[in-house]
Amino acid sequence: MTWKELLGTVGKEPVFSSALLLAGRVSPEGLSQQLARWTKTGKLIQLRRGLYALAGAYRKVEPHPFLVANQLRQPSYVSLQSALAYYGMIPEYVPVVTSATTQRPGLVETPLGNFLYKHLKAPFFKGFRLLEIEAGQRIFLASPEKSLLDLVYLTPGADSREYLEELRLGNFPVLNMQTLREMAHDSGSPKLRRAVERIGELATAEEYQVL
């Protein structure tokens, strides 16, 4: 495969898998060597084994960090602070994209950013949807309710009023309190139920402030 052929195949892809290039009579060994050479010369960025992005000079589509997060570790969905910031529920800029996964947890550092993965047991791996975050880039993102519950569930002491106040939660209209309560109840977690009651109090307090 030539560089021109590669650009013709993946030029409009934000990230791509080497498996995408194995159609026809392509030799897996030869392709692997060629990808390694292009990575070494700076034409490609290797994100993990088998996953690549074109270097900036050759890139037609800028990969959204949430898409990269989804692709780096599967299955996973963007959640916690990253999703809450996306929904405008917390004011802070979040430099690391945080996701929930049933796979091993950990931090993955790449030239396209840093990505943190938090482990969830399979029964809790739900409450997310497929969303087109940018043209042609579809990602798995937790709902506002699940993003908040994931944060509480995975953070020690996060059901305390002090912790929840420190988050400076806002934009409560995006949050469906009934859904939040139902999800907390269905989880069977007393911690989540306590947190939801305190979140409800904060939401009510903000509503009165606005009035």
> Can you name the CATH fold of 65-210?
Beta Polymerase; domain 2 (3.30.460)
Share the mean pLDDT of the chain. 95
Contact (Cβ atoms closer than 8 angstroms) between residue 117 and residue 103: yes
Between the CA atoms of 67, 72, 76 and 79, what dihedral angle is there, to the nearest 10 degrees? Answer: -60
CATH tag for 3-58 (out of 1.10.287.610, 2.40.30.10, 3.30.70.3450, 1.10.10.10): 1.10.10.10
pLDDT tops 90 at residue 94 = no
User: Residue 66 and residue 98: Cα distance in Å, rounded?
Assistant: 9
Per-residue pLDDT, 210: 42
pLDDT tops 90 at residue 164 = yes
What is the pTM for the complete model shown?
0.94
Smallest CA-to-CA distance from 73 within 150, 143, 125, 12 is with 125
pLDDT tops 70 at residue 148 = yes
pLDDT tops 60 at residue 102 = yes
Per-residue pLDDT, 209: 53
What does the pLDDT average to over 155-180?
A: 96
pLDDT tops 90 at residue 196 = yes
pLDDT tops 70 at residue 125 = yes
What does the pLDDT average to over 38-51?
A: 97
